[in-house]
Chains A and B, each alone.
Chain A
């Protein structure tokens, strides 16, 4: 049905991925002597537990796609992002990427004791920019973050929203092949959210792929054309945003889903029941065919 000038390329392929991470809990018996006794008797460290966060996930993401990852807390969304970013190694299966992924997490601290300005320079340098490129973009980044005079204060003086805005401004100042956003937009205000949605759209135009983890389904509906629903580390559903989100709401928030359906019906009887954005599903259907 479409005749793309260029074949879309796959940017992320997850092939039956399992991700686990270890966490060390509190030591059961405290004290230096006890710890030494444990070392001598070679009892295993207490409290070291393994969390099997992602269990057998497979999908392929294509260039130009924006994919929302949704699911309840602890469903493995953030872990999956860290796996794609190459910050966690799968215990089974494999994740392949085309290009460098960049992760933007809400807790991703740069250096808290340093000023916002210095963090901008450091963040950009770490992403591999040259000092000249930074000079060019520095003002843009400051302006986009919109934190004003706070830019010269250390980051530990920032509110969580301001920190998130600065981090987003830094990370999105460079075109990434794959941008992974973990709840970073949740703390911003409405104005900032609107601007970051625009920025995400721009990034997608530059043939990037965007992954977005969010509990705010509205943000996912606005920015993503595809959604993956995770639960207990497994994919429940993968498809067009509206279909997946409707099904998700149906399960987790039936009342709201009913309200939403009513709104849709009231908005226009000529539109299809699920047709908030019928355009969104199209490009993907083409890719699936090609």
Chain B
């Protein structure tokens, strides 16, 4: 509106309406505020339209992560294997936390691999908006794409780990049973839970980047509290309440359901565990999605 000098005035043909006029035009033609957050239903529809983008973006990111290493994507299999070997060495052989477990290797490896899916989603989600900043500043699409693809990347890792897991479980003497099919519903519920977590951490991580420095500690505590390398019932015999709290922990529930599917020697899953797995999955996903969507307008701005 302001002119810097009297020599430069706005010519009459410039179609610049006064303020009231602008309001009237906006209403008459139904213009929308630039960058406004879409209502939840529309947002979900836009997100659904980007499903191919999520798939392609996750695949591409995954490939480029390993593009500089000599062994390439073989690390997706090697990393979980090495991890399991280290935990076996320390907890199975040195510390002897294997008491009360029949097939300790199978027990440990199932726990480590499936917990890593949660870990990957949490870490990836927290960083997703930071690492994809330049893309987010260029194109407009629902930002929920980023946390979802963080989970998708972690999921690909999990699927690779399962390829390693199956022969290990069979080699340690577990029979092939019908219960193996229950891996599919467990995986589905765990995916819901992980996407929800990824949403929550993505929003927090976009506001407080320091969270990615804190997460390794939080995740380690969670790892030890989820009975990944020891059997919770045998270790909390004298502290029933602690055992109960640890058993209600969603990570414990998902890990136990996987173990129930793969290991014949372990305790079988209760209906209560299935119900809890469902509730945790749905509640965390819905709460996380809404929580993430609420701040949609703030992502990628500075």
The reply to whether the CB of B69 lies closer than 8 angstroms to some CB of chain A is no
Counting chain A CB atoms within 10 Å of each CB, which of B19, B33, B35, B36 scores highest? B35
The reply to whether the CB of A60 lies closer than 8 angstroms to some CB of chain B is yes
Q: Are B25 and A125 in contact (CB under 8 A)?
A: no
A–B complex contacts, Cβ < 8 Å, 23 sampled: A9-B29, A10-B31, A13-B26, A60-B15, A82-B137, A87-B301, A109-B135, A111-B60, A113-B67, A114-B63, A118-B60, A121-B56, A122-B56, A126-B139, A126-B141, A128-B50, A235-B1, A237-B3, A238-B11, A238-B16, A240-B13, A247-B7, A284-B13
With A58-B16, A98-B29 in contact, is A89–B301 under 8 Å at CB? yes
A13 to B141, CA, bound (A): 22
A186 contacts across to B, CB distance below 8 A = none
A-to-B contact residues, CB < 8 Å = 9-13, 15-16, 21-23, 56-60, 62, 82-89, 94-98, 100-103, 105, 107-111, 113-114, 118, 121-123, 125-128, 130-131, 226, 229, 231-232, 234-240, 243, 247, 281, 284-285, 287-288
Q: Are B8 and A237 in contact (CB under 8 A)?
A: yes
Instruction: Tell me which residues from 1 to 45 in chain B have a Cβ below 8 Å from any Cβ of chain A.
Output: 1-4, 7-17, 19, 22-23, 25-26, 29-36
Assign chain B's interface to a size class: 35 or more
A109 to B131, CA, bound (A): 12
Q: Are A15 and B22 in contact (CB under 8 A)?
A: yes
B-to-A contact residues, CB < 8 Å = 1-4, 7-17, 19, 22-23, 25-26, 29-36, 46, 49-50, 52-53, 56-57, 60-61, 63-64, 67, 134-135, 137-141, 145, 297, 300-302
Which of A11, A86, A111, A238 lies in contact with B135, CB distance below 8 A? Answer: A111
Which of A16, A59, A62, A85 lies in contact with B35, CB distance below 8 A? Answer: A85
Count of inter-chain pairs, beta carbons less than 8 A: 167
Which of A21, A98, A111, A226 lies in contact with B30, CB distance below 8 A? Answer: A98
Which of B11, B14, B35, B57 lies in contact with A87, CB distance below 8 A? Answer: B35
B10 contacts across to A, CB distance below 8 A = 235, 237-239
Q: Are A62 and B53 in contact (CB under 8 A)?
A: no
